[in-house]
Structure 1
Amino acid sequence: MLEYRSEEIEIMDDLTISGAVVDQTLRELNTINKRLGGNQISVSSYKKIASKANGNIMLADLGCGGGDIMMEMANWSRKNDVKASFLGIDANENIVEYALRNTKRYSEITYQSINIFSDDFRKQTFDVIHCCLFVHHFTSDQLVSLFRQFSDQARIGVIINDLHRHPLAYWSIKLLTSLFSKSEMVKNDASVSVSRGFKKKELVSILKSAGIEEFQLKWKWAFRWELIF
């Protein structure tokens, strides 16, 4: 078990899912990510890039969920006089509707409900592309193509924040969500997500196959990979 990446489908992969389960799931996922330090990995990576950038920054958050990480990035940008705009992208219109309500106080955050495999998305360019708990939803072959595409679309850099596939991470999140989660989606998807996560050598292989030679890959608590290229 966990020797290879799982191909099991998550409930979240159903792009038509809607209703109260979406709101409950997105609220719980943000709580989990905040308490385990997952959000901070993305924000810290954004700070590194934003501090070196000149002028306005346009960041696209792929698989944006409820927009919570963009809010944290926006808060830091406001405090540090960094002019930044954020575009949340999610293929599920119901998730985008939740995110719009969740981030309504932030005029610098906008959204598109669009599939990243579409021509409309491929035509767009950004300063930074950010993905948190997003790329594990795709096969390694798909990621080779996507990483190559992201590298072309992002003028400054790409930030990936995703899961380290490890038994301790798998069984810990399975126990925690079974005890405390009220969302059947979270209870099912949390451990499945870990099983679809990555070993270091797998990410390195994907990057090499995509022709990406320059990158930073670091392990972060709790069982996350911070990848910048």
Structure 2
Amino acid sequence: MPRLRERAVDAVEIMDDPHCDAETLRRTYANFRYVNAVVSGLRHTYRRDIRPRLSAATDTSLLDIGSGGGDVARSLARWAARDGLRLTVRAIDPDARAHAYATAHPPLPGLDFRRALSSDLVAAGERYDIVLSNHVLHHLNGAELGALLVDSERLSRGIVLHGDIERAPLAYLGFGLGTWPFFRRSFIRADGLTSIRRSFTWRELSAVAPPGWTVTREVPYRLMLCWQAPAVAPAQPAEGRRVHA
């Protein structure tokens, strides 16, 4: 097992290579839904943080940053529809291969995919009620992480939820053993182990989180980096205001 004392920021995932095998990459995207069902904690995040913000009467908007093959965005759209709640989901990823895979599936009401960066949406003045990402933080260096968090604050008028893996020996061993019999014809196992090596610990992520952001530990070996938009005080009625000379 490799040393996990520090982030392996120079390690590169195979699927990030623009020249990696296209069919193996396609199978990797297809298998993400099985892996995320076990390790992402997405269902719990939906029940605890997202569903209470949704309504059957009015639309709530959600932005999924770095959506990859689109399994997270599709799951959220389906769960909200099954619960009779109105949720519009925009999923963005700058990778043309991920965008092509995501858009090759049958469309879902209220869900759209766009090939874009978070900075593109900021420049366009877009805002969303909920902004989230899944397994994106470990891909970023310090400057990129800072830029993402600034963009997230500008894009969200409600809550931001960035979930990722926490680097730990047991996480590495557990993922390695748990995926050994499976995913042989994809990049899931190799890239998953690289992802763990690149990931933050709770202490590391807390140290770089800007003011107003909180980091919590979740099961299994997950971190949630959160931000809540400041509440806007209601305007006082004209007759209730004091005028100072």
Q: Who is 2:122 aligned against?
A: 122
* 2:112 alignment partner, one of 110, 124, 131: 110
CA contact (8 A) 1:42 1:69 kept: no
* 2:223 alignment partner, one of 211, 222, 225: 225
Task: Report the TM-score, using the length of structure 2 for normalisation.
Answer: 0.80
Q: Who is 2:66 aligned against?
A: 63
SS in 2 for 1:81: coil
Question: Aligned partners of 1:30 and 1:54: how far apart in 2?
Answer: 30
SS in 1 for 2:116: coil
Structure number, greater radius of gyration: 2
CA contact (8 A) 2:162 2:225 kept: yes
Q: Deviations over 1:122-161 (max 9, x none)?
A: 3233222110011110013321232122112111111111
Segment drifting more, 92-101 vs 162-171: 92-101
CA contact (8 A) 1:64 1:89 kept: yes
Question: Aligned partners of 1:206 and 1:183: how far apart in 2?
Answer: 36
Q: Who is 1:192 aligned against?
A: 194
For structure 2, the 5+ residue unaligned runs are 228-245
CA contact (8 A) 2:61 2:88 kept: yes
Equivalent AA in structure 1 for residue 222 of structure 2: R
Q: Deviations over 1:38-83 (max 9, x none)?
A: 33244233224436x9932221111112222222222232233322
Equivalent AA in structure 2 for residue 201 of structure 1: R
Give the C-alpha shift of residue 184 in structure 1. Answer: 4.3
Question: Aligned partners of 1:46 and 1:183: how far apart in 2?
Answer: 34
CA contact (8 A) 1:16 1:92 kept: no
Q: CA, structure 1 residues 20+219, in 2 after alignment: closer, same or farther (shift >3 Å)?
A: same
* 1:156 alignment partner, one of 140, 158, 180: 158
Q: Who is 1:183 aligned against?
A: 185
Equivalent AA in structure 1 for residue 7 of structure 2: R
For structure 1, the 5+ residue unaligned runs are none
Task: Report the TM-score, using the length of structure 1 for normalisation.
Answer: 0.85
Identity among equivalent pairs (%): 23
The answer to whether the aligner puts 1:203 opposite 2:205 as a matched pair is yes
Q: Deviations over 1:6-53 (max 9, x none)?
A: 1111123235656222221022221122134533244233224436x9
Give the C-alpha shift of residue 214 in structure 1. Answer: 4.8
SS in 1 for 2:180: helix
* 2:43 alignment partner, one of 36, 40, 45: 40
Segment drifting more, 59-68 vs 173-182: 173-182
Q: Who is 1:50 aligned against?
A: 54
* 1:30 alignment partner, one of 30, 33, 36: 33
The answer to whether the aligner puts 1:213 opposite 2:212 as a matched pair is yes
Higher helix share: 1
RMSD (Å), alpha carbons: 2.3
* 1:94 alignment partner, one of 92, 97, 106: 97
Give the C-alpha shift of residue 183 in structure 1. Answer: 3.2
CA contact (8 A) 1:86 1:110 kept: yes
SS in 2 for 1:179: coil
Question: Aligned partners of 1:36 and 1:213: how far apart in 2?
Answer: 27
Question: Aligned partners of 1:18 and 1:41: how far apart in 2?
Answer: 34
Equivalent AA in structure 2 for residue 149 of structure 1: D
Equivalent AA in structure 1 for residue 86 of structure 2: K
Question: Aligned partners of 1:60 and 1:138: how far apart in 2?
Answer: 19
The answer to whether the aligner puts 1:81 opposite 2:80 as a matched pair is no
Equivalent AA in structure 1 for residue 26 of structure 2: D
CA contact (8 A) 1:61 1:129 kept: yes
Q: Who is 1:170 aligned against?
A: 172
Question: Aligned partners of 2:202 and 2:52: how far apart in 1?
Answer: 22
